[in-house]
A = this chain, B = another copy of it.
Amino acid sequence: MQLSIGIVGATGYTGFELLQLIHRHPQARVAWATSESSAGKRMSELYPTPDETRLVRFADAPLHKADVIFLCLPHAASMDAVARVRSADVRAIDLSADFRLPDPSVYRRWYKHEHTQPHLLAEAVYGLCEVNREQIREAALIGNPGCYPTTVNLGLWPLAKARVLGPRIIVDAKSGISGAGRKLRLSSHFVEANENLTPYNIGYAHRHIAEMELILGPHAPGLDVTFSPHLIPVNRGILSTIYIDVDPTLSEQAVRDLYADAYADEPFMHLLPPGQVATLRHATYTNRCAVGLTPLPKPGRWVVTVSEDNLLKGASGQAVQNMNIMFGLEETAGLI
C-alpha cells in the first residue's frame, strides 16, 4: 500500500518533523502540504533542508487526493479545518488540542472558548496508541495527544488500569524549547533560554491536566494533579519526574509486573530495569517513551521518570503511529 498524505500547517516544528517522517516512510508519500503565511515557497526556503516541497494554501489543497490528512494548526484554529477535511470524507489526524476532549463542555472549561464542531467530537478518538489501539483502527478522526500528557499517561497507565494509583500526583516536567514552537518570543531567544532553567505556568490548573484526567481519571477516583512545567536549554525532549502513591500492600515486584504486563508487546515503550531512571537521551530522536520506576524508602511512594521526544512520540511520531494503526500498516513503519 502507498498512502498519499496531506499536511495542513507544515511550517511549524511539528509540521516539518511530520514532513520528514513521511519522506522516510516506506509506504507513504507527501501529496501536498499547506501554509497560509508561506504559500508559494518551498520548504528549503524555510528550513536548512533540500526538501523542495512547495507549499499551497489550505483552500487550494486537493483534499481528495489524500488518503489521510494531518493537521498541525494551533488550538481553536483547527476545528473548522478538520470539519472541512471530514466533509470531504478524508480521514484526519489532528495534532491540536481541538479533538482530544470528547465533552465540549470540558473543552470549553479548559480552553475558554466554544467548540464549533461538537458533532465531530463524537467520532473523534483520543490517539494514545498504547491505550486506545482498538478504537484507533476504525477511527476517521484522531485527536493526537499532547506532548506533556503523553508522558504522564503512559508513565502511570499500568497503575491506573490496575486501580492501584493514589489520587495525589505531582508532575515536575521539563521540556526542550521546541515545545514552545518556532514563533519568536523572548523566552525562546537563545541568550535568554541558554544556561537557564525556567518554571512557567506553575501554580494553577494547566490545560494539559485535562488529558490526564481523561485517561487516568476514570481509574483513579479523586485524581488530584499538580503539574509544573519547566523550560530547559535543549532542543528536543520532555522528561517528567512524577511523584505518586501506590497501594502500599503491593510489593516492588508486583508494581514492576504491572508495567511489564501492560507494555509487554509495545514496540515503543522502553521499560527500564530496576535501578535505572529515564533520561532525555533514552528517547530523543526516537518515537520511544522510556519509563523508570523508583521506589522511595517509605512503602507505597514511588518516583516515576518518563521521557519522550516531544516532536516524535509527543507529536508527529505518535501521529504517524496512529496512521500506521489506522491503515493496518506495520506499527513501526517509518518510525525506526
Contact = CB atoms under 8 A, between A and B. Distances in A.
A270 to B, nearest CB: 5
Interface string A164-201: 00000010101011100010111011111111111110
Give the interface residue-count category, chain A. Answer: 35 or more
Contacts of A50: 270, 288
Interface stretch (A69-77, A114-122, A277-285): A277-285
A91 to B, nearest CB: 26
Given A48-B279, A277-B200, A303-B228, A233 B194 contact: yes
Interface stretch (A55-63, A81-89, A214-222, A293-301): A293-301
Interface string A274-314: 00011111101100101010111110010101010000000
A26 interface: yes
A140 B243 CA distance: 42
A202 B294 contact: yes
Contact of A277 (B195, B198, B288): B198
Contacts of A49: 282
A23 interface: yes
A38 interface: no
A272 B232 CA distance: 21
Interface stretch (A96-104, A131-139, A234-242, A317-325): A234-242
A300 to B, nearest CB: 13
Contact of A188 (B176, B190, B203): B190
B297 A205 contact: yes
A285 B286 CA distance: 12
Contacts of A174: 174, 197, 230, 232
A305 B199 contact: yes
B195 A280 contact: yes
Given A199-B241, A230-B241, A301-B226, A285 B285 contact: yes
A13 interface: yes
Contact of A281 (B170, B196, B202, B230): B196
Interface string A203-227: 1110000000000000000001010
Interface of A: 13, 23-24, 26, 48-50, 170, 172, 174, 176-178, 182, 184-186, 188-200, 202-205, 224, 226, 228, 230, 232-237, 239, 241, 243, 270, 277-282, 284-285, 288, 290, 292, 294-298, 301, 303, 305, 307, 336
